[in-house]
Structures are given as C-alpha cells and as structure tokens.
Chain A
Amino acid sequence: MSAYAATWVAILAASAVCFLTKLVGHRVPEHWLAQPRVARVAALVTVALLAALVGVTTVVTGASLAVDARLVAVAVAAVALALRAPFVVVVVLAAVVAAVLRALT
C-alpha cells in the first residue's frame, strides 16, 4: 500500500474511532461515565497528550532533540496566551517569529 493510501486508511479509521467514541457517550447510561475517576482520567489524558505534542513538535527533529527557532516561537506563544491572545493570533505569531528568526540566521 502506498503512503498516500495508508494515510487515507488512517484518516478513515481515526474518524471512525472518534465518531464511535462520541456515539458511545450518547448511548451508555450517564452514570457509567459520571464517575469522578473516569472524568479525571479522561481530562488528564487530554492534558498529557497535548503537552507531549507541544514538547515533541517544539524540540524534536527526526529521532533526536534539537533546539531551534521553534523553541523561541513557542515561548513567545506562551507569553501571548498568558496575555489572553486569541488562538489564531497565537498561532500566527509563532509562525512569524520562527520565519523571521530563520530568515535572519
């Protein structure tokens, strides 16, 4: 299977998983999922995955760690978030910082 076809299969599979997850929520009795432990784990899994994605997309190149313009850009994004900048502004700002740093170096 070509890489392109494999990506399509992954898109369809992941979409099916996400849809079925939502549907299960609508179909099971509410109290099954209302347990504090379930809610806690689900919320923290979201936090952990997003944090890991921040880390990996910021300092990983290939299979090794590499500090470059991305780290500066993400630091600027963090400041913007602390100042309550909207999501789109944060994302664009990070791109601009990285692009400018790379153009200069």
Chain B
Amino acid sequence: MRSARHPHASPSSQPPPDARAAAIRQALSVSAATGVYGISFGALAVAAGLDLWQTTALSLLMFTGGSQFAFIGVLGGGGAAGAAVATAGLLGARNALYGAALAPLLHARGARRALAAHLTIDESTAVATAQRDPDVARTGFWWTGLGVFVLWNVFTAVGALVGDALGDPTRWGLDAAAAAAFLGLLWPRLASRTAQGVAAGAVVVALALTPLAPAGVPILAAAAVAVVVGWRDPGPRLHGHDHDDRHDDDDGPGGPPAPGPAPTSRGARTGPAARPWSRVRPGAGA
C-alpha cells in the first residue's frame, strides 16, 4: 500500500486545504524566527576562532543548532577537537528520538530518507508532530526543514561576515553573548523540577572539574549527571503536563531560576505538551 501510493496522493480522505495552508504558514514563521538567529551562530563561530568556510560548513553539514553552538563553545574555550566532537554528538542524541517519531509519518526511503534525516531538528519535528493529518504533517515537516535550512545557512554566512568585521570578540561582548546563547537554548527545557536539578548539578560538576581536567572534559562529565538521574528517576515525566508547569513556576528550588510557563504549553504553537520537542520554542534550538 505504501509503495503503490503516489507521493502527493492522500491516503483516503483529502485533508482540508486550510489545514495545509496553516501548516505552511506555521513552517514559514518558524523558519524565519529560527533562521534569523543563525546570525548569532555565525558571529560567535568566528569569535571562537573558526573562519568563514568552517562556519558555513558547520551550518550546512551539521545543521543542528545546539550541537553547533556546543562545538564552537568547546573549541572557543580551548577544548580539544575530540571533546568538541563528543559534546556536539551527545547534544545531537535527541535527534534520534525525533527521527523515530517522524519516520512513520514520512514514509521516506533512500535518498529522500537521508534528506529527511538531515532536516530532522527541533523545529521541523515540532511543526510536523503538531499536525493532526499525516499528510499535513509531511507538508509541515518538509516546509519547516527546508525553510530553516535555507535561512539558517544564509544568516550564518551573514553572521560570520559581521563577526569577521567586528574584530576582537571580547570588546564587543561576544563571549558573553555565547554564554547567553546557551542559556537561551537551555531555558525552554527547564520546565520540570528534575530538569532544573540536573541543570544545577551539571553546572556544579563542570565548574568543579574545570581546574582538574582538560578543557571540554568537564562539560562532557556533566552529562553523567543526566544519565544517572534519567536512568533512575521513575518519577513524574519530564515533559510534564500543564498542571506540572504551573506548579513548577511557583517554586524552583535552588539552581537556575524557575522558568516562566513553558512557552509552547499554552500557546500550542508546536503541538501536544507531552512531547519533548513541544517544549522547544521555535527559534530557540535549531
């Protein structure tokens, strides 16, 4: 049945055309919001010591924002290339879960599947899984994936040129901007108390190991906190429910300040709140 289908044919009933148009509009707005902050990636990559070609290669070939920021963050902090690769790879691990959720929707094979895999990021997954109709979900995925890809790469190049022209990065506060970028990527993921505890523990581990271990290693070691907690914790689900959100707002114990209500849980811009990617604010985690 799958093989006999035309790529553009609908399974049984035609989805309403306005649902498709809405998905495309959503895809375009997410693409614009995400693409624009490619400027900050480009500028920060140059500030971390990469040249224009290396910076654009990262956005073209790696194309997963969190990993890209982590890669330049580790290198910029004097970390070894191996530590940068490991950190970027670990941060990209969530994309495997996104792929597993998308594959049954996309039914892509061969080169098309490879392209779908490359375009599997927070935003394309969020838009695709927010749609009710599988056909519209496919539309949402491809429009978002391709839209973010094009704009992210264009704005990365713009940012790299700007960063190059600025010269000394610390004079312009670009080192602080890099730290703020990581905080911005982290923020929408801090909704649950477990996540807040892990974040606090990770900071402590990374800073405690800094004088003892080579640069880059303390960051990787912090990931162990997550593995230990995530493996053992049988408790409330991370991606919580709305009542958890409200509860968490009231008292963020220790560690990072309690976040505001998860941006997507009430706006429903990116779908069901019980999914990991639905936490991710469009434009905050390519």
Instruction: Name A residues whose Cβ lies closer than 8 Å to a Cβ of B.
Output: 6-15, 17-19, 21-28, 30, 32-34, 36-60, 62-65, 69-70, 73-74, 77-78, 81-82, 84, 86-88, 90-100, 102
Residues of B within 8 A of A62 (CB): 78
With beta carbons under 8 angstroms apart, the residue of A38, A55, A63, A98 that contacts B97 is: A38
> Is B269 positioned at the interface, with any CB of A under 8 Å from its CB?
no
With beta carbons under 8 angstroms apart, the residue of A7, A21, A65 that contacts B50 is: A7
> Is B39 positioned at the interface, with any CB of A under 8 Å from its CB?
yes
With beta carbons under 8 angstroms apart, the residue of A14, A39, A57, A69 that contacts B84 is: A14
Which A residue sits closest to B76, measured CB to CB? Answer: A57
Which A residue sits closest to B203, measured CB to CB? Answer: A55
Main secondary structure of the interface of B (DSSP, over half): helix
Knowing A26-B120, A30-B101, A44-B238, the reply to whether A37 touches B186 (Cβ < 8 A) is no
Contact of B100 with A28 in the complex, beta carbons under 8 Å = yes
Contact of B222 with A19 in the complex, beta carbons under 8 Å = no
Contact of A78 with B257 in the complex, beta carbons under 8 Å = yes
Could you count the A-B residue pairs with CB atoms below 8 Å apart for me: how many are there? 336
24 contacts between A and B (CB under 8 A): A7-B81, A21-B89, A21-B92, A22-B99, A26-B99, A30-B100, A30-B101, A37-B230, A41-B227, A42-B276, A44-B195, A45-B223, A45-B227, A48-B226, A49-B70, A49-B219, A52-B222, A53-B182, A57-B76, A64-B211, A73-B177, A84-B260, A91-B180, A94-B173
How far is B69's CA from A15's CA once the two chains are assembled, in angstroms?
Answer: 13
Q: Could you tell me the distance in whole angstroms from the C-beta of B92 to the nearest C-beta in chain A?
A: 4
Contact of B179 with A74 in the complex, beta carbons under 8 Å = yes
Contact of B180 with A51 in the complex, beta carbons under 8 Å = no
How far is B101's CA from A55's CA once the two chains are assembled, in angstroms?
Answer: 32
Which A residue sits closest to B114, measured CB to CB? Answer: A23
Interface size of B as a range:
35 or more
With beta carbons under 8 angstroms apart, the residue of A9, A46, A73, A84 that contacts B180 is: A73
Could you give, for residues 89-106 of chain B, a 1 whenever the CB lies within 8 Å of some chain A CB and a 0 otherwise?
111111111111111101
Contact of B231 with A41 in the complex, beta carbons under 8 Å = yes
Residues of B within 8 A of A90 (CB): 180-181, 183-184
Contact of B66 with A46 in the complex, beta carbons under 8 Å = yes
> Is B150 positioned at the interface, with any CB of A under 8 Å from its CB?
no
How far is B222's CA from A50's CA once the two chains are assembled, in angstroms?
Answer: 10
> Is B108 positioned at the interface, with any CB of A under 8 Å from its CB?
yes
Which 8 pairs, one residue from A and one from B, show the smallest C-beta to C-beta distance? A25-B99, A98-B173, A94-B180, A98-B176, A52-B222, A25-B96, A73-B176, A41-B230
Contact of A17 with B89 in the complex, beta carbons under 8 Å = yes
Contact of B78 with A19 in the complex, beta carbons under 8 Å = no
Contact of B176 with A69 in the complex, beta carbons under 8 Å = yes
Q: Could you tell me the distance in whole angstroms from the C-beta of B285 to the nearest C-beta in chain A?
A: 9
Knowing A7-B75, A14-B67, A47-B189, the reply to whether A56 touches B210 (Cβ < 8 A) is yes
> Is B237 positioned at the interface, with any CB of A under 8 Å from its CB?
yes
How far is B118's CA from A25's CA once the two chains are assembled, in angstroms?
Answer: 11
Knowing A11-B62, A48-B226, A74-B180, the reply to whether A22 touches B94 (Cβ < 8 A) is no
